[in-house]
Amino acid sequence: PAFNSTKTPKKGGPPLPTSSSSISSSKHALLQEQRSELPIAKGKDALIHEFREHDVTVLLGETGSGKTTQVPQYLLESGLARNGMIAVTQPRKVAATSLAGRVAAEQNVALGSSVGYSVRFDERFSSQTRIKYMTDGMIVRELMSDPSLSKYSIIIVDEAHERSLRTDILIANLKTIQQRRNKSQDAKGKGKDTSNPLKIIIMSATLDAEKFGRFFTGSKILYVQGRQHPVKIYHSSQGQVDYVDSAMRTFFQIHTDYPPGDVLIFLPGQEDIESLEKTIQIYANQLPHDRMSVLICPMYAAQAAGQNSKVFLATPPNTRKCILATNIAETSITIPGVKYVIDTGKCKEKRYLARNTGGGFDTLLTRDITQSSAMQRAGRAGREGAGHCFRLYTEDAFKAMPLSAEPEIMRCSLSSSLLQLKCIGQDLETLELMDQPAEESMKSSLIVLYLLGALNLQKEITALGRQMAAFPLEPIYARAIIASKEYGCTQEVLDIVSILSASSKLFIESSEQREAVSEARKKFRHVCGDHLTILNVVKAYQEIAYSEAKGSRKEWCRRHFLNERALLEASDIRDQLRQTCQRLGIDHSVSCGDKDDPVTFSLGHGLVMNIALLQPDGTYKQTIGQSIVKIHPSSVLCDKKIPAIIYDELVYTNQIYARGVSRIPKSFIVTLGALKQQR
Binding stretches for Mg ion (CB under 5 A): 67-68
Q: How far is the CB of 3 from ligand ADP (least distance, A)?
A: 28
Q: How far is the CB of 32 from ligand ADP (least distance, A)?
A: 13
537 binding partner (options ligand ADP, Mg ion, none; Cβ < 5 to 8 Å by kind): none
CB 452 within 8 A of CB 419: no
64 binding partner (options ligand ADP, Mg ion, none; Cβ < 5 to 8 Å by kind): ligand ADP
Strands (E), 369-411: 387-391
334 binding partner (options ligand ADP, Mg ion, none; Cβ < 5 to 8 Å by kind): ligand ADP
Rounded CA separation 273/299 (Å): 8
Residue 104 or 397: the one with the smaller Cβ distance to ligand ADP is 104
| 568 is a site residue for ligand ADP (CB under 6 A) | no
HSE at residue 343, side-chain half, CA atoms within 13 A, is 33
One DSSP character per residue, 160-223 reads GGG--HHHHHHHHHHHHHHHHHHHHHHHH-SSS------EEEEEESS--HHHHHHHSTT-EEEE
Beta-carbon neighbour count of residue 364 at 10 Å? Answer: 14
Residue 69 or 610: the one with the smaller Cβ distance to ligand ADP is 69
Q: How far is the CB of 232 from ligand ADP (least distance, A)?
A: 22
Residue 65 or 344: the one with the smaller Cβ distance to Mg ion is 65
Q: What angle (nearest 5°) sits at the alpha carbon of residue 32, between those of residues 26 and 38?
A: 140
Three-state SS sequence of 136-169: HHHHHHHHHHCCCCCCEEEEEECCHHHCCHHHHH
Q: Which stretch binds ligand ADP (CB under 6 A): 65-73, 115-123, 163-171, 442-450?
A: 65-73
Residue 107 or 236: the one with the smaller Cβ distance to ligand ADP is 107
Q: How far is the CB of 100 from ligand ADP (least distance, A)?
A: 9
In a 3-state reduction of DSSP, which class is residue 177? helix
Q: How far is the CB of 264 from ligand ADP (least distance, A)?
A: 12
Spatial CA neighbour of 262 closest among 327, 347, 204, 329: 329
| 68 is a site residue for ligand ADP (CB under 6 A) | yes
* Cα diameter, the chain: 78
Residue 67 or 141: the one with the smaller Cβ distance to ligand ADP is 67
Residue 219 or 334: the one with the smaller Cβ distance to ligand ADP is 334
In a 3-state reduction of DSSP, which class is residue 52? helix
Q: How far is the CB of 20 from ligand ADP (least distance, A)?
A: 13
> Which stretch of DSSP H or E encloses residue 88?
strand 85-90
Site mask for ligand ADP (CB under 6 A), range 125-164, x = bound: ----------------------------------------
Residue 155 or 233: the one with the smaller Cβ distance to Mg ion is 155
Spatial CA neighbour of 257 closest among 601, 484, 12, 613: 12
Residue 301 or 424: the one with the smaller Cβ distance to ligand ADP is 301
Spatial CA neighbour of 318 closest among 295, 342, 285: 295
Calculated CA dihedral for residues 112, 117, 123, 125, nearest 10 degrees: 30
Rounded CA separation 446/457 (Å): 10
61 binding partner (options Mg ion, ligand ADP, none; Cβ < 5 to 8 Å by kind): ligand ADP
Q: Which stretch binds ligand ADP (CB under 6 A): 68-76, 237-245, 316-324, 487-495?
A: 68-76
The length of the chain is: 679
| 107 is a site residue for ligand ADP (CB under 6 A) | no
153 binding partner (options Mg ion, ligand ADP, none; Cβ < 5 to 8 Å by kind): none
Angle at which helices 530-547 and 550-559 pack, to 10 degrees?
150
Q: What angle (nearest 5°) sits at the alpha carbon of residue 339, between those of residues 333 and 343?
A: 70
Q: How far is the CB of 665 from Mg ion (least distance, A)?
A: 52
Q: Which stretch binds ligand ADP (CB under 6 A): 64-72, 142-150, 451-459, 540-548?
A: 64-72
Q: Choose which of 66, 268, 407, 465 interacts with ligand ADP (CB under 6 A).
A: 66
Residue 296 or 341: the one with the smaller Cβ distance to Mg ion is 341
**Pairing label, strands 338-343, 387-391:** parallel
Q: Cβ contacts of residue 343 below 8 Å, gap of 6+? A: 266, 369, 374, 377, 378, 389, 390, 391, 392, 393
Rounded CA separation 631/638 (Å): 5
Q: How far is the CB of 202 from Mg ion (least distance, A)?
A: 12
Rounded CA separation 507/277 (Å): 19
Q: How far is the CB of 594 from ligand ADP (least distance, A)?
A: 47
Residue 224 or 480: the one with the smaller Cβ distance to ligand ADP is 224
One DSSP character per residue, 616-666 reads TTS-EEESSS--EEEE-TTSTTTT---SEEEEEEEEESSSEEEEEEEE--H
Three-state SS sequence of 484-502: HHHHCCHHHHHHHHHHHHC
| 90 is a site residue for ligand ADP (CB under 6 A) | no
Q: Choose which of 57, 63, 135, 503 interacts with ligand ADP (CB under 6 A).
A: 63
Q: How far is the CB of 672 from ligand ADP (least distance, A)?
A: 48
Q: How far is the CB of 63 from ligand ADP (least distance, A)?
A: 4
| 72 is a site residue for ligand ADP (CB under 6 A) | no
| 382 is a site residue for ligand ADP (CB under 6 A) | no
CB 196 within 8 A of CB 153: yes
Q: How far is the CB of 336 from Mg ion (least distance, A)?
A: 14
Residue 68 or 622: the one with the smaller Cβ distance to Mg ion is 68
Size of the site for ligand ADP (CB under 6 A): 17
Rounded CA separation 281/288 (Å): 14
> Which stretch of DSSP H or E encloses residue 384?
none
Q: Choose which of 59, 99, 172, 448 interacts with ligand ADP (CB under 6 A).
A: 99
Rounded CA separation 538/464 (Å): 29
| 102 is a site residue for ligand ADP (CB under 6 A) | yes
Cα–chain-centroid distance for residue 374? 20
604 binding partner (options ligand ADP, Mg ion, none; Cβ < 5 to 8 Å by kind): none
| 307 is a site residue for ligand ADP (CB under 6 A) | no
Q: How far is the CB of 277 from ligand ADP (least distance, A)?
A: 21
> Which stretch of DSSP H or E encloses residue 131?
strand 131-135
| 61 is a site residue for ligand ADP (CB under 6 A) | yes
CB 629 within 8 A of CB 506: no
Identify residues 21-40 at the interface with ligand ADP (CB under 6 A). Answer: 38
Residue 89 or 600: the one with the smaller Cβ distance to Mg ion is 89
Q: How far is the CB of 103 from ligand ADP (least distance, A)?
A: 8
Closest residue to Mg ion, judged by C-beta, is: 68
CB 407 within 8 A of CB 431: no
Q: How far is the CB of 345 from Mg ion (least distance, A)?
A: 23
| 312 is a site residue for ligand ADP (CB under 6 A) | yes
Residue 67 or 578: the one with the smaller Cβ distance to Mg ion is 67
Rounded CA separation 111/490 (Å): 34
| 376 is a site residue for ligand ADP (CB under 6 A) | no
101 binding partner (options Mg ion, ligand ADP, none; Cβ < 5 to 8 Å by kind): ligand ADP
Task: Output DSSP code: residue 562.
Answer: B
Q: Choose which of 89, 90, 97, 98 interacts with ligand ADP (CB under 6 A).
A: 98
Rounded CA separation 37/334 (Å): 15
What residue ranges bind ligand ADP (CB under 6 A)? Answer: 38, 61, 63-70, 98-99, 101-102, 312, 334, 336
